[in-house]
Structure 1
Amino acid sequence: MRVSVRISVVLWAIALVTCLGYVVARLLVFKQIFFDHAGIAITQPEVAAAHNGTHDPRPQLIPKIIHQVFHNWHDPGNDTLPSDWEKVRQTCVVANPGWEYKLWTETTSRDFIETEYPWFLRTYDAYRYPVQRVDAVRYFLLLFYGGIYLDLDNGCKADLTPLLYYPMWITDPGRGALSNNILASRPNHPFWARLTHSLIPWSYNWFFPYVTVSYASGQWFETAIWEQYHSLLPPASENPDHEHRLYRLMMDDRPEADEWVYFTQERGGTWINWDNRMFLVIGDHLFMFLLVVFSALGMAGWGVTKGVRKYREGYARIKNLPDRYEI
């Protein structure tokens, strides 16, 4: 009996240590996702200042293609954009004459994956939430075609040509995870190759919809792969080749932040689930949330330690009792 109790305590201790180790590992990943990010930060005014009109001596690296994705979850088969999104789309068409514009529907998105990346089709079809297919297809479009991807709730304030002289950039809202609402790249950039091949091993279904979307295909996933990619690059001093340098275009919407020269933000929130608001509150109070988490872990550890100590004291008392009593 004593041996079985001792084994039980050891197993519980191993389970607790394993759980704590997993939680710490996840928190370290979240630290990479939510805090300072690798890559070269550039503001939109800096991009505008660096561009010298039609005489810019730099090579244009990104093709003049604008990708947008519209999957009508509420009325499948109806590919007509809502009037407000059509109005926003027109701001980009007017500001960028002569560019190729591609609007990807649910049908054309799946056909593209099936034709060009059939190895991913099973995962694509199996995604639990429709927005995950919208997330995934944008990455493959940039890998295959290159160009600029915009969510349908993002409009254009100016000609996007000055943004084409960088090999690859994504948007950084200035706090929390990086964003995947506006992305740009030359075709076949190695970052997108690494990211698209990471989609399958990351395609877990978590309890919370927001975590599943963000961590399996969305912003958290993109940010984690971004940090992984940079960890594999040699230091900039050893690799002056700009072809593999990644840029973060700052799109902080706080009043004190740099001006948005090229883009606007309109109506969004089409994939809101029941837990979105909770995680947005956590993001706004991340330090307090982490403090509560570590406090809870500390109390759990203290409780286990106290339980083990009581067990040892009780076991010592039992061990010192005589084997039998005289009557």
Structure 2
Amino acid sequence: MGIITAPRRARKTHPGFTAACVVLLLVSLWLAHSVLYDAWTLAAIPLLWTRHAERFYISAHHDDFDVTFANYSIHQTSAAPFGDQVPPVLHHISLGSGAATHSKWTEVRQTCLDLHPDWEAFLWTDETADALVAEHFPELREMWTTYRYPIQKIDALRYMVLYHYGGVVLDMDLQCKRAFGPLRRFGFVAPAAHPTGFSIGFMMASKGNAFVGKLVENLRRYNRHWLGLPYPTVMFSTGCHYASTIHAFQQNRAELKILAGPSGNPRLHSLNGPVSTPLFNHLGSSSWHSYDAAMIVSLGKRHDAKLPLLLIGAVAVMFFAMKRMRRRRMLKV
């Protein structure tokens, strides 16, 4: 005859312990809510970018603009008969040693200067950039000087000089093929990136442009070491993905123009890699890319640039899997 044992009593959790866990959870969520929200905005770009795209993508139908530039003179430096919203100023940024005096980049930059002979031109170096930030953006100076990666300083400076002076900001590896006059009728212009968002290697804006001001204003908010890797950190804190996120969450995007190609060739103005567009020969140096860039870009191409969504989804799956395993262990007790 077997031994009869009394049924094991279910463990009772002390009410105080439960309350403490709830309070701890609420406090943790409160402390992390800004990080979670910012991560969500970054992850949502593949879903939100094309919302109302017909309003902000430059087209012949909505803007009476020839995106192929075939009907514009290569020497047209004004948008006449339309008004010029963008002032005649060129900005090139060359931080660090050697870049500003390298003969290759000097020659490339000169192509842009030659096509805009009457425009004011700035070549931002470490000294002039630091003076600008200290004088006009003192609240950002500590963050700017302590950025983890040099390209973050360059990206942040793009927005600052564009906001303070207006004009056109260009990467040093963009060889100009024609003047930017036709585009000066728009308050903000940047080329479409593939497969989503826009490139910050070339931007045009009016002085004190409200959207560019938002790009400057949100730098501190997104200044995090994202995913613990260089490439996401740059892209999500100062780079193209960051700027595209701010664009996607603006209430009125109609004035924030994106330059793409016609329906048959939407990548006509894309600056991804060494390419030739109607405006530029892009030499595609991408010297800032680190060891993780190739892996992430490859994943992004395979999954339609939804890498942030995949990463967040993976974290969510791990969380629910651990939660389910814990529940099973409790049922076995």
Counterpart mapping for 1:111-126 below 5 A: 111-126=131-146
Structure 1 residue 58 corresponds to structure 2 residue 78: no
Deviation at 1:161, TM superposition (A): 1.1
CA contact (8 A) 1:139 1:196 kept: yes
Is the alpha carbon distance of 1:139 and 1:4 closer, same or farther for their aligned partners in structure 2, counting shifts above 3 Å? same
The residue that corresponds to 1:88 in the other structure is: 108
Deviation at 1:307, TM superposition (A): 3.5
Give identity over the alignment, percent: 22
Superposed CA deviations along residues 161-207 of structure 1, whole A, max 9, x for unmatched, are 11211111122124133211100101011111122111112211231
Using the alignment, how far apart are the partners of 2:134 and 2:12 within structure 1?
58
Deviation at 1:300, TM superposition (A): 5.0
User: What amino acid maps onto 2:238 in structure 1?
Assistant: S
The residue that corresponds to 2:257 in the other structure is: 247
The residue that corresponds to 2:241 in the other structure is: 220
The residue that corresponds to 2:285 in the other structure is: 268
Structure 1 residue 2 corresponds to structure 2 residue 11: yes
Structure 1 residue 179 corresponds to structure 2 residue 199: yes
Is the alpha carbon distance of 1:27 and 1:42 closer, same or farther for their aligned partners in structure 2, counting shifts above 3 Å? same
TM-score, normalising length: structure 1: 0.76
Counterpart mapping for 1:133-212 below 5 A: 133-206=153-226, 207-212=228-233
Is the alpha carbon distance of 1:299 and 1:125 closer, same or farther for their aligned partners in structure 2, counting shifts above 3 Å? closer
Counterpart mapping for 1:2-21 below 5 A: 2-3=11-12
List alignment gaps of at least 5 residues for structure 2.
1-9, 60-64, 270-276
3-state DSSP class of the match of 1:102?
strand
Computed over aligned residues only, the root mean square deviation of the Cα atoms, in angstroms, reads 3.7
Superposed CA deviations along residues 59-81 of structure 1, whole A, max 9, x for unmatched, are 11111111000012xx3xx4643
The residue that corresponds to 1:40 in the other structure is: 56
Is the alpha carbon distance of 1:211 and 1:95 closer, same or farther for their aligned partners in structure 2, counting shifts above 3 Å? same
Deviation at 1:306, TM superposition (A): 4.4
Deviation at 1:296, TM superposition (A): 7.0
CA contact (8 A) 1:176 1:283 kept: no
Superposed CA deviations along residues 129-182 of structure 1, whole A, max 9, x for unmatched, are 111111111101111111011000111111221121111112212413321110
Deviation at 1:95, TM superposition (A): 2.0
Structure 1 window deviating more from structure 2 (79-88 vs 50-59): it is 50-59
TM-score, normalising length: structure 2: 0.75
Deviation at 1:297, TM superposition (A): 3.9
3-state DSSP class of the match of 2:258?
strand
Deviation at 1:299, TM superposition (A): 6.3
List alignment gaps of at least 5 residues for structure 1.
237-244, 315-327
Q: How many residue pairs end up in the alignment?
A: 296
Is the alpha carbon distance of 1:167 and 1:110 closer, same or farther for their aligned partners in structure 2, counting shifts above 3 Å? same
Is the alpha carbon distance of 1:178 and 1:284 closer, same or farther for their aligned partners in structure 2, counting shifts above 3 Å? same
Could you say which structure has the higher helix fraction?
1
Is the alpha carbon distance of 1:33 and 1:82 closer, same or farther for their aligned partners in structure 2, counting shifts above 3 Å? farther
Using the alignment, how far apart are the partners of 1:67 and 1:55 within structure 2?
19
Structure 1 window deviating more from structure 2 (28-37 vs 173-182): it is 28-37
3-state DSSP class of the match of 1:272?
coil
